[in-house]
Structure 1
Amino acid sequence: MTLETKKSVFVELGKFLSQFSEEENTRNESVLGNDLFFEDFIKLILLSQSHNGWYTPEQVYFAIKSWADALTEENISKWLSQYATDFTQDNKTEKNVALILAGNIPLVGFHDFLSVLITGNKALVKTSSNDQHLLPFLAKYLVFVDESLKDKITFVEGKLENFDTVIATGSNNTARYFEYYFKDKPSIIRKNRNSAAVLNGKETHEELEALGEDIFRYFGLGCRNVSKLFVPKGYSFDAFFQAIFKYQDVIHYEKYANNYDYNKAVFLMSNFKLLDNGFLTLKEDPSYASPISSVFYEFYENIDELQARLDADAEQIQCIVSNDLIQNSIPFGQTQNPQLWDYADNVDTITFLLTTK
């Protein structure tokens, strides 16, 4: 199976996914497999919240659109063009790659799944109990498009066996277990990370509104969600609160509201000083990992000193949002729209899969 064939299969998946949106599901008769998959996928999207209460149709549709936008011929070609290693022919050292996936946001493990298959390896997939349906459905579609993938994809319910390498995602606690259990295998072990935003008080209303997207998308459950703000000393949060008011409806979602009530109560009982707008609390705290419905903040005096601090804390940070204040930061509103070449934890999965023996 050549690289071009592999690319074409995922481009076809992108075309399939592009038919679905929260506003309207629009069937394109030129897309392969619609008779078998179109209606069933809509049903699965609508059922996802019954499988995982955080997977509302709005959030699942957003994840689907993100992958539809990513899986174009142009994007896939640009992504893979940077690798000098030639893997256009069948991989003579085909590996069985164990994938232990998270389930905090819909399809969070799809990039690892894609990377394993595009490099000509076999995927042994252990899904999270929180996300057991979406990826297997898309795998069935891929096998429909190219039946040779049937022997490349295995979903494992019990113990993982007969694997050569591992890519595992979990909490800091589970990472310690993974590191011990897989100590004799080449591996990528991902731990907890959080994202931060750096403000200087000159942001426009539109930029702060976009920052709200970085905070509230997926209810703040993703590692790319902003959970920490760095603001200059004396910063007023009035403009920030005005800009994020458009996200007020999040409090009407019961699971989010329960977290808001609980975490706010815990903070208040501990006599912490809070800023609160009725659906989000802000707490001054040096940590990066804030609980759901809360964002931590910290004051800074010098941007260069802050840059040094962020560099030192790099292993705790997934991405940084700013208006070009910090090196390699991304624009407001873009944390949940990573490109194919934006690797989790800055670990190049393709290079790992191509070079690991």
Structure 2
Amino acid sequence: MKDTLDLFSALGDRLKDFGGDAASRQVAERACRANGWFTPAEVCRAVRTLSRDMLQRPKLERWLAAYPALPAARPLDVLVVMAGNIPLVGFFDLLCVVVAGHRCLVKPSAKDTVLMEYVVGLLREIDPAVPVSFCDGTAPAEAVIATGGDNANRCFRARYAGIPALLRGHRQSVAVLSGRETEAQLAGLADDIWAYSGLGCRNVSLVFLPEGAELRLRMPAVQAKYRNNYLQTRALLRMQGCPFVDLGAAVAVEQREFPRALSEIAYARYRSADEVAAWLAEHDAELQCVVTETLPHTRRADFGRAQSPSLTDYPDNRDVLAWLSAPGV
């Protein structure tokens, strides 16, 4: 097999112009037909983001330099059970498994099979010996990485109880504002909230702002399925007599809990940064990332960068490469 740096940097080169030719546009269209929440523009964005932020050789080199014990001395068959809420959201786990020196058994989500098959096909074109294969979830595995909702997570715990398992459930993200944000930062916040129709765990769904500050959210254009969710949510809030701010294609509700509806954004006012820091610490197990320039946080993201994670922005703050290199995995 090729050196993993050569393999994945070559993949990055092939993906950087995704959507710029008829063949890749057809792939994007097929992916959208398989998942009604996907749009061609966001499929292209997701693929290009991977190429830019994860599959550049200098970035891969810096990332792997922190793990001198890799590749693993004894390769394992590692099953990766992928989510499908965002285009290629499961690719990072595949990358981690292969660079760690293991064999990756891919179980893609039915909602994102088209793109995953496309990318694995490119890997095989670059190197036919790449240790990646598809499975239906029944193939024997020696370790598993699985991502899903909380109900799926409970099933994962039971199903894979006999092998090392890195399991992820449902998380959400917040933004903490100072009230002095620039127009560019507010535009970035809109992307953090509504990119990929707000379906990702890194999408902001709760906004903290200081007392006296105006809630300023700039609603972008949304796709039809999101707008239908908004119309239903707005009608339900009106029937219940719940106060809300109508943003045009989403609603904002003042509360300190994460919202239940996709098109509902929660906001809460605070008196001090310490007050927010205490809330974040109390709810740490529910958080994926925190968009802010107001206070420090181990999973802090800049405005407009929530949906552009780097190689070290590990989901659920679990270092996947460290887990894959630990004894017993």
1:154 is the counterpart of 2:133: yes
Name the SS of the counterpart of 1:168 in structure 2. strand
1:195 is the counterpart of 2:173: yes
Distance 1:47 1:170 in 2: 23
1:234 is the counterpart of 2:232: no
**1:43 Cα deviation from its structure 2 partner:** 1.2
Name the SS of the counterpart of 1:167 in structure 2. strand
Distance 2:155 2:30 in 1: 33
Distance 1:13 1:335 in 2: 23
Task: Tell me which amino acid in the other structure corresponds to 1:189.
Answer: L
Task: Tell me which amino acid in the other structure corresponds to 1:333.
Answer: G
**1:86 Cα deviation from its structure 2 partner:** 4.0
Q: Deviations over 1:151-190 (max 9, x none)?
A: x222113x42310111000111111111122122111110
The answer for the alignment partner of 1:59 in structure 2 is: 42
> Could you tell me which of 54, 66, 75 is aligned with 2:59?
75
Distance 1:281 1:356 in 2: 48
Higher percent of residues as helix: 1
Task: Tell me which amino acid in the other structure corresponds to 1:85.
Answer: A
Distance 1:8 1:289 in 2: 43
8 Å CA contact 1:288, 1:316 repeated in 2: no
Q: Deviations over 1:206-229 (max 9, x none)?
A: 211110010110010001100001
The answer for the alignment partner of 1:220 in structure 2 is: 198
- Across the two proteins, how many residue pairs are aligned to each other? 326
**1:327 Cα deviation from its structure 2 partner:** 2.8
Which TM-score applies when normalising by structure 1?
Answer: 0.88
- Taking a change above 3 Å as real, the CA distance of residues 120 and 231 of structure 1, as seen in their structure-2 partners, is same
Name the SS of the counterpart of 1:273 in structure 2. coil
The answer for the alignment partner of 2:32 in structure 1 is: 49
Name the SS of the counterpart of 1:99 in structure 2. strand
Distance 1:86 1:197 in 2: 35
8 Å CA contact 2:30, 2:114 repeated in 1: no
Name the SS of the counterpart of 1:195 in structure 2. strand
- Taking a change above 3 Å as real, the CA distance of residues 106 and 20 of structure 1, as seen in their structure-2 partners, is same
The root-mean-square deviation of aligned C-alpha atoms, in Å, is 1.5
Structure 1 stretches lacking a partner, 5+ long: 27-38
The answer for the alignment partner of 2:69 in structure 1 is: 85
The answer for the alignment partner of 1:96 in structure 2 is: 77
8 Å CA contact 1:286, 1:297 repeated in 2: yes
**1:324 Cα deviation from its structure 2 partner:** 3.4
Which TM-score applies when normalising by structure 2?
Answer: 0.95
What are the within-5 Å matches in structure 2 for residues 201-216 of structure 1? 201-216=179-194
Task: Tell me which amino acid in the other structure corresponds to 1:80.
Answer: L
Distance 1:216 1:309 in 2: 24
Q: Deviations over 1:235-292 (max 9, x none)?
A: 322xx14xx14x1x21xx2111111111111222222110012112101222224422
Name the SS of the counterpart of 1:147 in structure 2. coil
- Identity level (%): 33
Q: Deviations over 1:38-96 (max 9, x none)?
A: x5333111222111111110110110110110201101001101113142xxx441111
The answer for the alignment partner of 1:29 in structure 2 is: none
Q: Which range is displaced more, 343-352 or 297-306?
A: 297-306
Structure 1 residue ranges, 4+ long, deviating more than 6 angstroms after superposition: none
**1:194 Cα deviation from its structure 2 partner:** 0.5
- Taking a change above 3 Å as real, the CA distance of residues 107 and 356 of structure 1, as seen in their structure-2 partners, is farther
Task: Tell me which amino acid in the other structure corresponds to 2:119.
Answer: L
Task: Tell me which amino acid in the other structure corresponds to 1:277.
Answer: L
The answer for the alignment partner of 1:143 in structure 2 is: 124
The answer for the alignment partner of 1:34 in structure 2 is: none
